[in-house]
Structure 1
Amino acid sequence: MAQPAADVLIIATLTGFAKMHAIQAAHFTAIGAFSEVVLGYFERDRKDYTKIPLREQVEVLSLIGDIATDRRAPKVHAHVVVGRADGAAHGGHLLEGRVWPTLELILSDVPQRLRRRTDPESGLALIDPAA
């Protein structure tokens, strides 16, 4: 279990952690809170994410993701559901989130190597089961 420090950007921190520890395949889950978060919704026609910024304190109700290699570098892929103060929930691809005050994250190494390859149809870097 890891507990990232308050006020860090979680995707950047996880990517740096994976590089530092040569992690090629992992799965993680987390709960906690963000002081701000940017969600992404993949627009199929544009083959790109629409950014959905929430510049307010939110609870991390569920965060799940993986780490795989993309061009020999670790790539973090995560989805999140966050709750606002009024109880409304918002979810999507986690582009970035600023931890505050805490994020309880459990990261498990995966014994197989996971590699991403760019899918020509979607333009996304997807896990290649044949790699």
Structure 2
Amino acid sequence: MATWRELVAFVRQGYDVIRDEPDELRIRVHFGGDVDDDGRVQTVVIAREVLDRREDWVQIATPFARVGEVNLQAVLAEIGATTVVGGAVIMGDYLVLRHSLPLVHLDFNEFTDPVELVAGAADELEQRISASDNY
């Protein structure tokens, strides 16, 4: 059984943490090289969510575009055709790819793959849609 505190300790050891708050971490996932290289990066929010006031979940979310700057139908079709993990949502002004996992039986190895898959898919979407690296 994993707890939020144990997950936070695991994330702090294995990821580039750029923001650390009680129920939310922000990490930077690097693609195409080391941390110091000019490779692409994706900022990922890892947040503790409580379902029905009793079950702890972890939400993995990362923005990849601004809502008003993309064709939503084309983006959703692309996600449907290419993405295995996560779903697209609108959060404020941003399109976000996110995925959630229950903490109750989470093995940390089951956490790392979704983080990489969500971050990688969002980075690819961002690159295809806007040819930028803003998130």
TM-score, L = length of structure 2 = 0.27
Structure showing the higher strand proportion among its residues: 1
Which fold has the larger relative contact order, with Cα–Cα distance below 8 Å and residues 6 or more apart in sequence?
A: 1
